[in-house]
Amino acid sequence: MIDYYAVPSPCYVIDEARLRKNLTVIKNVADRAGVEIILAFKGFATWGVFPVVKEYVSGAAASSVSEARLCFEEIGAFAHTYSPVYPERDFNSILEYSSHITFNSLDQYRRLFPLVKKYGRKISAGLRINPEFSEISHGLYNPCSPGSRLGIIADDLPELPAGVEGLHFHVLFEADSFALEKVLKVVEEKFGRFFPLLKWINMGGGHLMTKEGYDTSHLISHLSDFRKRTGLHVILEPGSAFAWETGELVATVEDIVVNNGISTAITDVSFTAHMPDCLEMPYKPKILGATDALEGKPTYRIGGNSCLSGDVMGDWSFDKQLLRGDRLVFLDMIHYTMVKTTTFNGVHHPSIGIWTMDNQFRLIREFGYEDYRDRLS
């Protein structure tokens, strides 16, 4: 159990025990299904805990030069790289750090594949396909919405260009294995004729295999059937599943202001800067020990410390009145949250720490004025 008062505020604190639990599930799926599961850095890239991650997985999916380099330097492996576009000026560095490069369009493939081919080390090239089938209802996260810029649709791929060894699709979001089963059926119908010509297929992310209730046995049997039937090397690159429910954002109530009968507890963190998905998605996070607003209970609007008027996320009720200095613990604030933070307003960026297996807090990183200053000029 994390002692949140033993953690400095504000701070993202990763629970090593919960992280290891997720990593064990992921490794077990990979081993039993005979597939490769790599970490999508876009969802979680807190490299201070990679020594733990590397005990279970040996690769990562990158979407930029910086992510590919982080994979090379901090995981010690070449990256599986996919980006919606590769600017030509970046491409030499993409080659330097990647083992697999997936192209989003045929034009990018035609222009850049010659560089892959003549590179001094073998790099496997792939294409991102768009099966035009996704169950994601939230537009911001749906790569298959009509007119999407992501991936090549079947009508535009009458034949496989020479040199392509793999196909990549990403159409799931916090999904179960039954959603994957439906997607695979469509992918096979539309692109299955290319399978005998390929070496690998990358099924992207969105496989939330560490969520309570996820049927990993179904995933394992479906993946292993697919692998045996097609002979393809199967790669999955989830992000969220790695860090799902592995840690919290610890904050402190700094002030309580009252306006028109509404009490707002202003904290030392910001929704827009430190929990941006709460406003972007949007979703209301859980706070330890609090509920949605209930009549008759001490109720507060929780506010961030930036000047944005909308840096609030609704109302919560507590068992007792909040006081200045009280800790607020925002649950499940590791995946996507940590990679998306900003230094907006120059507000203090939360530290990063780990709650270790022997129940100690270890500070990994603190942030200061230089981090704010150096991003701006």
Chain contacts with ligand PLP (rule: CB under 6 A): 40, 42-43, 61, 82, 170, 173, 204-206, 237-241
The smaller minimum CB distance to ligand PLP, of residues 45 and 269, is found at 45
Among residues 35 and 40, whose Cβ is nearest to ligand PLP? 40
Closest distance to ligand PLP from the beta carbon of 22 (Å): 12
Q: Output the residue with the shortest Cβ distance to ligand PLP.
A: 205
* Among candidate residues 24, 106, 82, the one with its CA nearest the CA of residue 57: 24
Least CB distance to ligand PLP at residue 334 (A): 12
128: Cα separation from own chain's centroid: 19
Which residue type occupies 261? G
CA distance 7 to 371: 21
CB of 212 to ligand PLP, least distance (A): 16
SS3 193: helix
Q: Is 82 or 86 the residue whose CB approaches ligand PLP more closely?
A: 82
* Contact assessment for residue 29 and residue 216, using Cβ atoms and an 8 Å cutoff: yes
Crossing angle (nearest 10°) for helices 106-117 and 88-97: 50
Identify which of residues 3 and 280 has a Cβ nearer to ligand PLP in the complex.
280
CB of 327 to ligand PLP, least distance (A): 28
For 254, other C-beta atoms within 10 Å of its C-beta total: 16
* CB 240, min distance to ligand PLP, A: 4
For residue 74, CA distances in Å to 71, 100, 354 come to 5, 18, 18
CB closer to ligand PLP, 157 vs 312: 157
- Nearest distance in Å: CB 206, ligand PLP: 4
How far is C-alpha 14 from the chain's CA centre? Answer: 15
143 preceded by cis ω (within 30°)? Answer: no
Q: Which is nearer to ligand PLP, 211 or 327 (CB)?
A: 211
Q: Are 140 and 148 contacting, i.e. CB atoms less than 8 angstroms apart?
A: no
What's the closest the beta carbon of residue 298 comes to ligand PLP, in angstroms?
A: 36
**Residue whose pair of structure tokens reads 């807190």 in the numeric block:** 46
Q: Which is nearer to ligand PLP, 9 or 210 (CB)?
A: 210
Q: What letter represents residue 291's amino acid?
A: T
Please give the Cα distance from 244 to 241 (Å, whole number): 5
Q: In a 3-state reduction of DSSP, which class is residue 120?
A: coil
Contacts of 29 (CB under 8 A, 6+ apart): 35, 37, 209, 216, 219, 220, 223
